């Protein structure tokens, strides 16, 4: 096993993850300088460091010396599993783009296991994989978390059910960091070592037992372990022992799906116990030891383990559990069982509804193996008996507990493959995957037989609106055999959003997806992209089958391991690499394709024709020259069509072009980058026009014309060769001219400068990169990626020659640029969005986070310009302009807020909402009904997960107040301390209430509601996001507002529908009323610290609101814990 000596010099060992990765691991004690040197060696353009408050408190200066060498950006996640949420993941992505992350950036996970888990997933999705350095700070993270390719977050009360497998570039361990660990973190690491001791016995059991028997324990405390400590030598020994245990197994099973599943020992029950108590109460490693005790109980009950063997096994576990007893009161048995039945491993063994699975041992060092995964299923009631024996309580009969029953599906014996009309090809992606691909024409029956042959427990079919329109019953026969659930996404790139990805995840769990569920991508390229990403993160990889319905998806999209969505106005900048289990193609789908989709597929074939020449150029040219074109339309291509024989040939040739290259470069990072030819420019043109205006393949053709222009200007391509290249492109572009009016050249260039490939070549601000050719079939290659960088000026010259406008129009700028907050910035934003239309600007209102202006346009319209203050947004609401922009766009799409035109220069431009703020006399039945319906519509619009934002705001402001409290008058210090204490402690009380959450407005006071006749609209969505529904409602109906209980009951009657009783809603809203006073109290203290000249005024307001808080919390009967 790996052995490291105590030394202040770092020692290196390569961690081998089967054939997937070899990761250098450096370890030492007090080696800060060496760690920083290793990070410098990565030659990053910037470091994106993800950490948590505990690490920042103890080791905040650890990387300080690097700040003189390169930009170091730091993001703090919450401590523990609270970090592992979809909300925090998207916040990290937002932050990375705000920092200007490129492909040359390096992500650093600096913290415990939770930080490693979410940081790994974040790095793996950014640009389909940024370089990642792990710097673990806890014993558990060092020997167990970073020595795995697993990444994860938790969703909807389940542990680690979203994630991917992703290898770091380097692991840097300084065991000296463990000296600052609290007792629970130390025991969490020891718990996983106890698991290894039980699994492998021998040296692992001996060293573990010896380390815990030699601890410094205060015997007068009954061996409680309060004084437990480990010296540096013991820490180093235990860490190396844990690393060795993992790597012995992962060297043959990198993805932990067969032999590597042994490390799940005890985890089914540990995860359930941890979640039942709530995040952070029971340390993970301690939970594992209790899970192991449960497994040994089961093994003995089933006659698989003797009483003597169980005693020896349990003695190891109790070296931890005796020092860390479970807190009282314990959760209910039914609660733990419900969570255990939702474990992410469920489905692997096809458990019945009364069964559950974990690993079982016959004795220390001997795993009972009846399945490749080493899992063993057994009756769930045995686990209930074990929980009873430990004193877990039972829920009362009147409890609203969900029955312990999993969804049932009719399983079908796999049918034989008929193969009629389907031709099988094996697509080899280097050493990463071999994917069977079936191709045929008019093969609906065979396609369904292929799907059924995989013996899924259910199918989750993701399609789009075009598929629903043209092929509604294509997969209908599947439902006769297996449960089928379908989700319909918008067409095109509109499907590729974070919101749709989140919604798919929520939907999967609503459908009771398991690891035996198969996800089917049934649609065009956009559906394939987002479905692939969805499948790759669900349970760290669910089975995926592609059934493409467009020409482009058939030969170009599904023949790649790439998955993606678009984020922050950029194309395909979040994603993974993931292989489907099968691809099934029926080219008969192409008969229903609109002209735009057909030409999109031809554009990517044109690219192959230019890259490879030969048969690719011949097939493309022949197809377009023989097309049935109406010559009277001037060869416009209006009547263009391709028969099925030609389609089959083109799909086959297109697949061959991809696979000849991807057989050597599965992840398209070296030779595979040639398929990016023309894409820097095409993506920029497509985004400048807006999604769906220019078909992707057509955009690629124009991008290729730009690249040949640049190549000739640089002397790489002669005029004759450019003429031959461009003649092929014009077989397509002459049939699809770009629409008029064209976007401005500046708008296109701005988007190209944000391309997802940017940073690979270390481009300067005046450079851009794409693939360049010498001639058709010959690529100019000065870099392993085949990319070449060239002056942006050449790109701009081509755009102007091609007829793009000279101005600075930009209809979709979402960049959070650092700009001066001045009227010129407002004017520039309006002129950019409405060129030539600005008449005048006048101020409307001012606030802490934004100033409002009204811009009058020459056509008589008025728009509001919300000028956002970055610093204040970050300090008060911990948000960004891009997040606020997304909130407003969502409200606009729902019809509950003003139409939004765009974000530019941190100025958000929207329609001026007519009307006035509500008065009592306005609140007719029609107005109340409309108001209730739009609030409910907003609350239900987006699936939310994570911490309600009100806690995030208050904690953010409380931290600022605590840091600056010394600047406040001495006589107010006790009051400030009281408010800060209340903010810190009241959260526990609310967490126990299980209040309803939703996507809330966040500041639904009457001033943010507009009434015009019987119409009602909401404004100001700066604070929108996950929050308590009751908090939203009480901001409008609390007792210091003019709307009484009678009106509130009328509103709740309309709002509730058939979902909840009005009594429950009213009770929860009243419970949230205290928070509507505590939040402004801490805000006024925040202003007192920030604006010291008006300190007394703000403190007086804070006292007033805190007094209201104390009164209201007494009225609703809540007390702090």
- Residue 110: closest CA among 84, 137, 70: 137
**Residue 58, SS3 per DSSP:** helix
Classified as helix, coil or strand, 683 is helix
What is the DSSP secondary-structure string of 1063-1088? Answer: HHHHHHHHHHHHHHHHHHHHHHHHHH
What gap in Å lies between CA 1051 and CA 1070, rounded to an integer?
Answer: 14
Residue 1007 contacts residue 917 (beta carbons within 8 Å): yes
Q: How many CA atoms lie within 13 A of 926 on its CB side?
A: 6
In sequence order, which residues have a C-beta less than 8 Å from that of residue 316 and are 6 or more positions away? 194, 197, 198, 205, 208, 209, 364
Active site residues: 562, 676
For residue 884, give the 3-state DSSP assignment: helix
C-beta separation of 884 from 1021 below 8 A: yes
Q: Is the dihedral of CA 752, 754, 756, 758 positive or negative?
A: positive
End-to-end CA distance of the chain: 48
Count other C-beta atoms under 10 Å from residue 1006's C-beta: 16
Whole-angstrom distance, CA of residue 120 vs CA of residue 112: 12
Measured CA to CA in angstroms, residue 1106 lies from 583, 877, 1029 at distances of 62, 20, 22
> Do the strands 459-464 and 484-489 form a parallel or antiparallel pair, or are they unpaired?
parallel
What would the two tokens of residue 685 be?
A: 């043109």
- Gap between the Cα atoms of 1000 and 1028, Å rounded: 7
Nearest to 386 by CA among 278, 487, 499, 301: 301
Give the list of residues 6+ apart from residue 182 with CB closer than 8 angstroms, or none: none
Q: Tell me how far apart the alpha carbons of residues 962 and 123 are, in angstroms, rounded to a whole number.
A: 33
Residue 767 tokens, joined:
């450079």
Answer whether 32's CB lies under 8 Å from 174's CB: yes
With contact defined as beta carbons under 8 Å apart, do 1112 and 1081 qualify?
no
Classify residue 364 by its DSSP letter: T
Which has the closest alpha carbon to 106: 43, 179, 37? 43
Sheet strands (E) in 359-474 = 361-363, 366-367, 376-379, 423-429, 433-440, 459-464
The Cα–Cα gap between 870 and 1005 comes to 23
Taking each helix axis from N to C end, the angle separating 679-689 and 745-752, rounded to the nearest 10 degrees, works out to 130
């Amino acid at each position: 096993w790996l052995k490291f000596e105590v030394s202040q010099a770092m020692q290196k060992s390569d961690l081998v993850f089967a054939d997937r990765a070899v990761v250098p691991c450096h370890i030492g004690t007090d080696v800060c300088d060496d760690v920083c040197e290793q990070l410098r060696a990565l030659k990053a353009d910037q470091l994106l460091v993800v950490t948590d408050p505990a690490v920042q408190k103890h080791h905040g200066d650890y990387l300080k010396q690097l700040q003189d060498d390169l930009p170091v950006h730091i993001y703090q996640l919450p401590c523990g599993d609270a970090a592992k949420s979809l909300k925090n993941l998207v916040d990290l992505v937002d932050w990375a783009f705000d920092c200007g992350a490129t492909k040359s950036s390096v992500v650093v996970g600096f913290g415990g296991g939770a930080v490693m888990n979410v940081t790994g997933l974040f790095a793996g999705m950014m640009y389909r994989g940024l370089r990642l350095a792990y710097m673990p700070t806890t014993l558990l993270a060092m020997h167990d978390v970073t020595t795995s390719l697993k990444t994860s977050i938790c969703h909807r009360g389940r542990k680690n059910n979203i994630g991917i497998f992703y290898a770091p570039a380097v692991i840097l361990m300084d065991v000296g960091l463990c000296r600052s660990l609290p007792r629970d973190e130390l025991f969490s690491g020891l718990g996983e070592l106890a698991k290894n001791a039980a699994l492998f016995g021998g040296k692992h059991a001996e060293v573990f037992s010896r380390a815990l028997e030699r601890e410094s324990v205060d015997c007068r405390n009954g061996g409680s372990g309060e004084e437990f400590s480990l010296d540096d030598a013991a820490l180093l020994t235990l860490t190396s022992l844990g690393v060795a245990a993992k790597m012995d197994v992962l060297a043959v099973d990198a993805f932990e799906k067969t032999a590597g599943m042994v490390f799940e020992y005890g985890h089914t029950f540990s995860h359930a116990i941890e979640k039942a108590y709530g995040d952070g109460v029971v340390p993970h490693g301690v939970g594992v030891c209790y899970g192991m005790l449960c497994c040994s109980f089961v093994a003995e009950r089933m006659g698989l383990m003797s009483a003597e063997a169980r005693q020896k096994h349990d003695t190891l576990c109790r070296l931890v559990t005796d020092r860390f007893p479970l807190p009282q009161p314990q959760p209910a048995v039914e609660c733990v069982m419900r969570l255990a039945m939702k474990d992410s491993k469920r489905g692997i063994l096809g458990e019945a509804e009364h069964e559950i699975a974990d690993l079982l041992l016959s004795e220390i060092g001997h795993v009972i193996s009846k399945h490749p995964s080493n899992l063993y299923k057994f009756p769930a009631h045995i686990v209930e008996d074990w929980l009873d024996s430990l004193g877990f309580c039972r829920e009362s009969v009147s409890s609203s507990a969900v029955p312990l029953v999993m969804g049932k599906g009719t399983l079908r014996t796999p049918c034989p493959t008929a193969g009629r009309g389907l031709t099988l090809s094996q697509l080899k992606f280097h050493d990463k995957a071999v994917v069977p691909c079936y191709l045929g024409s008019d093969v609906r029956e065979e396609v369904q037989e292929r799907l059924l042959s995989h013996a899924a427990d259910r199918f989750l079919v993701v399609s789009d609106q075009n598929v629903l329109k043209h092929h509604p019953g294509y997969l209908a026969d599947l439902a006769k055999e297996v449960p089928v659930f379908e989700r319909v996404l918008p067409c095109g790139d509109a499907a590729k959003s974070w919101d749709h990805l989140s919604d798919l995840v929520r939907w999967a769990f609503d459908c009771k997806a398991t690891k035996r569920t198969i996800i089917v991508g049934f649609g065009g390229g956009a559906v394939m992209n987002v479905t692939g990403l969805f499948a790759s993160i669900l349970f760290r990889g669910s089975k995926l089958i592609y059934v493409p319905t467009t020409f482009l998806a058939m030969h170009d999209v599904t023949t790649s391991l790439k998955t993606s969505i678009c984020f922050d106005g950029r194309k395909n900048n979040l994603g993974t690499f993931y292989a489907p289990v099968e691809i099934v193609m029926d080219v008969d789908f192409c008969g229903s394709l609109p002209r735009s989709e057909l030409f999109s597929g031809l554009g990517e074939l044109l690219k192959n024709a230019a890259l490879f020449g030969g048969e690719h150029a011949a097939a493309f040219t022949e197809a377009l020259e023989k097309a049935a074109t109406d010559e009277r339309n001037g060869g416009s291509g209006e009547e263009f069509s391709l028969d099925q024989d030609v389609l089959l040939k083109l799909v086959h040739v297109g697949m061959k072009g991809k696979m000849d290259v991807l057989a050597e470069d599965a992840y398209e990072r070296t030779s595979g980058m040639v398929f990016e030819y023309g894409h820097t420019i095409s993506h920029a043109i497509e985004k400048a026009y807006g999604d769906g205006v220019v078909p992707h393949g057509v955009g690629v053709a124009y991008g290729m014309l730009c690249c040949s222009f640049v190549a000739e200007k640089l002397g790489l391509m002669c005029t004759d060769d450019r003429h031959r290249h461009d003649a092929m492109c014009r077989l397509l572009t002459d049939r699809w001219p770009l629409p008029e009016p064209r976007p401005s050249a500046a708008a296109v260039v701005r988007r190209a400068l944000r391309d997802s490939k940017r940073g690979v070549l270390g481009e300067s601000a005046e450079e851009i990169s794409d693939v360049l050719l010498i001639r058709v079939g010959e690529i100019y290659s000065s870099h392993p990626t085949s990319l070449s960088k060239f002056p942006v000026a050449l790109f701009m010259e081509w755009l102007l020659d091609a007829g793009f406008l000279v101005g600075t129009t930009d209809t979709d700028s979402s960049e959070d640029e650092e700009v001066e907050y001045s009227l010129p910035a407002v004017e520039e934003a309006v002129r950019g969005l409405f060129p030539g239309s600005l008449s005048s600007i006048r101020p409307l209102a001012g606030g802490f986070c934004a100033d409002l202006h009204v811009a009058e346009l020459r056509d008589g319209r008025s728009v509001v310009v919300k000028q956002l203050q970055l610093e204040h947004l970050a300090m008060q609401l911990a948000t960004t302009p891009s997040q606020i922009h997304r909130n407003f766009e969502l409200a606009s799409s729902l019809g509950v807020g003003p139409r939004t035109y765009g974000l530019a220069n941190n100025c958000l431009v929207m329609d001026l909402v007519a009307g006035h703020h509500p008065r009592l006399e306005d609140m007719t039945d029609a107005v109340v009904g409309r108001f209730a319906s739009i609030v409910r519509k907003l609350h239900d619009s987006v699936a939310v997960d994570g911490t309600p934002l009100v806690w995030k705001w208050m904690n953010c402001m409380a931290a600022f107040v605590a840091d600056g409290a010394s600047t406040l008058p001495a006589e107010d210090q006790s009051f400030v301390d009281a408010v800060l204490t209340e903010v810190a402690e009241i959260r526990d009380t609310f967490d126990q209430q299980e209040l309803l959450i939703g996507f809330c407005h966040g500041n639904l006071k009457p001033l943010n509601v507009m009434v015009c006749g019987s119409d009602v609209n909401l404004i100001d969505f700066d604070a929108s996001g996950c929050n308590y529904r009751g908090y939203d409602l009480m901001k409008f109906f609390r007792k210091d507002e003019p709307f009484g209980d009678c009106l509130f009951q009328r509103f709740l009657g309309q709002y509730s529908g058939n979902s909840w009783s009005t009594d429950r809603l009213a009770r929860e809203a009243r419970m949230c009323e205290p928070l509507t006073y505590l939040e402004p109290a801490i805000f006024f203290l925040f202003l007192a610290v920030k604006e010291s000249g008006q300190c007394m005024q703000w403190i007086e307001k804070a006292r007033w609101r805190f007094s209201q808080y104390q009164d209201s919390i007494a009225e609703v009967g809540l007390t702090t814990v």
